[in-house]
Amino acid sequence: MADFLSNYSIQKWLESCPQGYLEDTVYGHGADEREPEELLKNEQFREAQIRTTVQLIAGERCALAASSGLINAAPDAASKTFLATQTLDEGRHVEIFTQRLFDLGIAQDDLESTIKTYINPNLGKFAEVLLEKVDKKDFVAGVVGQNIVLEGMAFSVFEMLHATSSDMNPKFAHTLAGTIADERRHVGFGENRIGELIRRYPEKKPEIERMQRDMTKHMLATFHDSFAASPLAAASPSVAPGARKSAGTYQGLNLAEASNEEMEGALSSVVLNEFKTRLGRIGLEYQSPV
Amino acid sequence: MTDPLETERPVQERKPRRSFELEETGFNEVPKRFRKFYRRWRGPGDTLGPNEALCPVCKVVIRSVKELRAGDRVYCMPCMSRLELVEEDGMLLAKVIY
């Protein structure tokens, strides 16, 4: 175990991340990459992008609060070190998605009011459930909530957004590729560290499963509201107007023809299946919110 | 007397493993010296080679210079998971070692 935990080092993070896939990037993308002009000129599409980006910022702010809050609750130095690197990853995610709002034309002074206008209230409830565990310094529940439920959801959402933007918005796709690479480490830490700890503290299972059920309920409500509130953005979140016909596929769905309901169903199905599989591997039973 | 462990071992295990030349695949999520050992999973249409295993945690393909077989242990550097290969329904699957 000691050798395994030594993988959670700052040096390895430096070589993989800032000296690796983030080398030569500016706010997570190439210095010469820009939001598509057609998107910026169309107010309906621009607003849809702002709405989507606000949800990403809200999720990342929650992840930043959770990962930093869990450092002092971690039972060993290696986990503290890993969570320190994750805290910087999450801080970077908040920054790059905030920068995207500025790139979409939001003035710096209007940042907080824009977030307040567009944030989905269910996402706030989702965060509250997790941060309650973090505030209580409950490391095992906090890491399950943060690195398996929240990061598992983020991993799937980022992959969907990446699939829908890779052809038509390379700047956003590039930004997302870096966050997906970060999420790989985060979900890996969640499964590997908790997979071992949950065997040591099996009495914690019922409480953690309740937390997962509540977080799942708020997550599904967030998906539903997001796809219903912003029809154009929901099905094709990052492409320029007129570009949907050349958009790719996601989970077998043709993005040029998929309805919002189909997209919501596909994303929910992917995330829930991931939850079941990941929780099952570490000895927890997925709890349906229905 | 025959060693039972020897008789239970599949005949295939005694065959020499095939070797593979690994080329760069554009995967950049680990330090440069390790990049050729990984590639991105291209989704449902993708297939694994005899020297490849899919990490169930982060969905990255792990590549070896030798053919992989059940019982082998591999390491997924992008998500830092330790994996063991097992055979289920004739397929080679990677299971996480906690």
Residue A256 or B33, more confident: B33
d(CA A66, CA A79): 14
Domains, chain A, ordered by start: 2-281 (1.10.620.20)
Token pair recorded at residue A195: 């997979």
Percentage of chain A lying above the pLDDT 90 cut:
74
Q: Is the pLDDT of residue A232 over 60?
A: no
Beta carbons of B53 and B92 less than 8 angstroms apart: yes
Q: Is B58 on the interface with A (CB under 8 A)?
A: yes
Residues B88-96: what's their mean pLDDT? Answer: 85
Interhelix angle A121-135/A205-229, rounded to 10 degrees, is 160
Q: Three-class SS of residue A126?
A: helix
Q: Is the pLDDT of residue B92 over 90?
A: no
Q: Is the pLDDT of residue B8 over 70?
A: no
Query: pLDDT band for position A242 (50/70/90)?
Result: very low
Among A123, A119, A124, residue whose Cα is nearest residue A53: A119
Query: pLDDT band for position A247 (50/70/90)?
Result: low
Our CA-based measurement puts residue A14 at a distance from the nearest CA of chain B, in whole angstroms, of 9
| Interface contact flag, A184 B79, Cβ < 8 Å | yes
d(CA A50, CA A286): 33
Domains, chain B, ordered by start: 32-96 (2.20.28)
User: Pseudo-torsion of CA A76, A79, A85, A86, nearest 10°?
Assistant: -140
Q: If residue B91 lies in a helix (H) or strand (E), which one and from where to where?
A: strand B91-96
Q: Is B93 on the interface with A (CB under 8 A)?
A: no
Q: How far is residue A90 from each of residues A93, A119, B29, measured CA to CA in Å?
A: 5, 18, 17
| Interface contact flag, B81 A191, Cβ < 8 Å | yes
d(CA A256, CA A247): 6
Query: pLDDT band for position A196 (50/70/90)?
Result: confident
| Interface contact flag, A187 B58, Cβ < 8 Å | yes
Task: Considering only the beta carbons, identify the residue of A15, A189, A196 that sits closest to B98.
Answer: A196
List residues bridging with A266 in a β-sheet.
Answer: none
* Residues of A whose CB is below 8 A from B30: 15-16, 20
d(CA A203, CA A75): 17
Q: Is B76 on the interface with A (CB under 8 A)?
A: yes
Percentage of chain A lying above the pLDDT 70 cut:
92
Q: Is the pLDDT of residue A245 over 90?
A: no
d(CA A153, CA A275): 8
Between A and B, how many CB-CB pairs are < 8 A?
61
* Residues of B whose CB is below 8 A from A25: none
- pLDDT tens sequence across B13-54: 578 999 999 999 999 999 889 999 999 998 878 899 999 999
Mention every residue, 6+ apart, whose C-beta is less than 8 A from residue A208: A140, A141, A144, A145, A198, A284
A215: left (phi over 0), alpha (psi -120 to 50) or beta: alpha
pLDDT confidence of residue A243: 45
* Residues of B whose CB is below 8 A from A274: none
Query: pLDDT band for position A113 (50/70/90)?
Result: very high
pLDDT confidence of residue A239: 47
Q: Which of A1-5, A99-103, A159-163, A285-289 is the least confident region?
A: A1-5
Q: Is the pLDDT of residue A257 over 60?
A: yes
Q: Which of A44-53, A76-85, A225-234, B76-85 is the least confident region?
A: A225-234
Q: Which of A29-33, A130-134, A252-256 is the least confident region?
A: A252-256
Beta carbons of A264 and A227 less than 8 angstroms apart: yes
Our CA-based measurement puts residue A221 at a distance from the nearest CA of chain B, in whole angstroms, of 26
ipTM of predicted complex? 0.85
DSSP sequence for A160-199 = HHHHHHTTT-HHHHHHHHHHHHHHHHHHHHHHHHHHHHHH
Q: Three-class SS of residue A4?
A: helix
| Interface contact flag, B80 A189, Cβ < 8 Å | yes
> What mean pLDDT is reported for chain B?
87
pLDDT confidence of residue A17: 94
pLDDT confidence of residue B15: 85
Q: Is B60 on the interface with A (CB under 8 A)?
A: yes
Q: Is the pLDDT of residue A237 over 50?
A: no
* Residues of B whose CB is below 8 A from A189: 79-80
* Residues of B whose CB is below 8 A from A252: 44
Supply φ then ψ for residue A81, to 5 degrees: -65, -45
Mention every residue, 6+ apart, whose C-beta is less than 8 A from residue A234: A48, A226, A227, A228, A260, A263, A264
pTM of the model: 0.89
Beta carbons of B50 and B67 less than 8 angstroms apart: yes
| Interface contact flag, B80 A191, Cβ < 8 Å | no
